[in-house]
């Protein structure tokens, strides 16, 4: 289908160079060939042919004469979420309003939209120093329910996030505290070794060298005892993450039964090594664990693919139910594979988590 991408107006600080479109459909390539915008004197336009039902996450970039690539950002030079579109009709127009470009400010001065962590400390790990970002409600001390989150750079404030939006886990935690159900959250930022640390099977993105057992050993043997030392024995311990973070959550729960009473498996990416997780699960169980398993209905490259992923999620739940105490399946309506979707689903997960306490 013919699709018109329109940039209505360029920000004043637009760098000189070639404007082009990238996104999921191009594996986020920075090669502008075939995807450059042309100006009509007022706006910038790009025409492209895309399959009907495509689910697009896209951004605008500029390739400078010196080879430097600059990506669109927010008005404070920080990262910005992708534009989203569902391709439904011939000649569809997709507007791409630009707030600014990423620059050396990196979001400095941006109004706070999410709750930052209330504390940070560092632990030694096999891969070097590991920061632990902690959030807890003010005026509360001692043992509380504990939620350990992967991708800790994405879960509190926006500044360190990958895509310019966060889970606002602190805000969701405060909602629970205001209702008389305080909990503590410990989040673990990860670097470019994410695929190695979170994917328990050898595949292309971890160079066929998984470090997941090293990571889950560290969670069990170093992180959890340190959190007990600092805050007391939690009344309930949950582990949660999204995408590859959902994969490693499921893996850790089945690998180390009874370590985590609740597993938050958000939009799990279980496809590595030809869905090896589904074979690995055979013969493993944690009969007392409660599992939150969710997926958005816009996750995938096309509408059809998204429907297949939802069916796979239900199939996965059926495989899990004989192995654990409970599986709660949630499908997010209009939700994509991004922090905004996980932010929307987190409060209900926390309510469900507290029920177990």
Q: Is residue 108 part of a domain?
A: no
Q: How confident is the model at residue 357 (pLDDT cuts 50, 70, 90)?
A: low
Q: Is residue 273 located within the same domain as residue 125?
A: yes
pLDDT score for 355: 81
Burial class (CB in 10 A: 0-12, 13-18, 19+), 142: exposed
Same domain, 173 and 251: yes
> What mean pLDDT value characterizes the chain?
95
Residue 291 lies in a domain: yes
Please identify, among 42, 75, 101, the residue that sits at the C-terminal boundary of a domain: 101
Domain boundary among 67, 101, 135: 101
CA dist., res. 10 & res. 72, Å (int): 10
Residue 336: pLDDT over 90: yes
pLDDT attached to residue 252: 98
60-74 pLDDT, tens digit per residue, is 999 999 999 999 999
- Pick 177 or 110 by higher pLDDT: 177
Task: State whether 86 and 125 are in the same domain.
Answer: no
Say if residues 352 and 264 touch (Cβ distance below 8 Å): no
Summarize pLDDT for 90-133 with one digit per residue, the tens. 999 999 999 999 999 888 888 888 889 999 999 999 999 999 99
Residue 183 sits in the same domain as residue 258: yes
Q: Are residues 222 and 94 in the same domain?
A: no
19 in any annotated domain: yes
* 185 and 96 fall within a common domain: no
- pLDDT for residue 161 is more than 80: no
Residues 40 and 77 in one domain: yes
In-domain check, residue 182? yes
Query: pLDDT tens digit string along 236-292?
Result: 999 999 999 999 999 999 999 999 999 999 999 999 999 999 999 999 999 999 999
Domain extent, residue 213, equals 119-355
What value does the mean pLDDT take over residues 71-87? 94
Q: Which residue, 20, 3, 138, is CA-closest to 69? A: 20
How many domains does one find in the chain?
2
pLDDT tens-place string over residues 197-248: 999 999 999 999 999 999 999 999 999 999 999 999 999 999 999 999 999 9
DSSP string, 222-258: IIHHHHHHHH---SEEEEEEETHHHHHHHHHHHHSTT
Domain contains 106: no
Question: In this structure, are 129 and 30 located in the same domain?
Answer: no
């Amino acid at each position: 289908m013919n699709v018109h991408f329109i940039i209505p107006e360029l920000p004043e600080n637009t760098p000189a160079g070639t404007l082009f479109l990238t996104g999921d459909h191009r594996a986020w390539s920075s090669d502008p060939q075939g995807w450059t915008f042309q100006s009509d004197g007022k706006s910038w336009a790009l025409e492209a042919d895309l399959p009907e039902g495509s689910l697009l996450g896209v951004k605008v970039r500029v390739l400078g004469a010196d080879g430097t690539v600059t990506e669109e950002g927010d008005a404070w030079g920080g990262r910005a979420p992708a534009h989203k579109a569902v391709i439904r009709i011939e000649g569809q127009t997709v507007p791409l309003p630009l707030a600014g470009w990423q620059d050396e400010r990196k979001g400095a001065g941006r109004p706070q939209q999410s709750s930052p962590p209330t504390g940070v400390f560092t632990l030694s790990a096999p891969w070097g120093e590991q920061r632990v970002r902690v959030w807890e409600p003010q005026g509360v001390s001692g043992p509380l329910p504990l939620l350990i989150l992967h991708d800790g750079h994405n879960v509190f404030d926006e500044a360190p996030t990958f895509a310019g939006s966060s889970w606002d886990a602190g805000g969701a935690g405060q909602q629970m505290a205001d209702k008389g159900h305080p909990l503590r959250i410990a989040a673990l930022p990860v670097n470019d070794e994410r695929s190695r640390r979170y994917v328990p099977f050898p595949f292309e993105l971890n160079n066929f060298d998984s470090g997941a057992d090293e990571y889950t050993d560290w969670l069990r043997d170093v992180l959890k005892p340190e959190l007990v030392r600092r805050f007391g024995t939690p009344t309930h311990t949950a582990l949660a993450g999204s995408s590859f973070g959902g994969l490693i959550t499921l893996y850790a729960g089945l690998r180390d039964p009874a370590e985590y009473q609740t597993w938050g498996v958000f939009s799990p990416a279980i496809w590595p090594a030809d869905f090896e997780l589904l074979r690995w699960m055979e013969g493993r169980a944690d009969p007392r664990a409660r599992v939150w398993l969710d997926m958005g209905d816009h996750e995938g490259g096309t509408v059809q693919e998204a429907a297949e992923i939802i069916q796979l999620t239900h199939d996965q739940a059926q495989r899990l139910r004989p192995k654990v105490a409970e599986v709660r399946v949630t499908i997010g309506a209009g939700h994509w594979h991004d922090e905004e979707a996980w932010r929307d689903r987190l409060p209900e997960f926390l309510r469900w988590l507290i029920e177990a306490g």
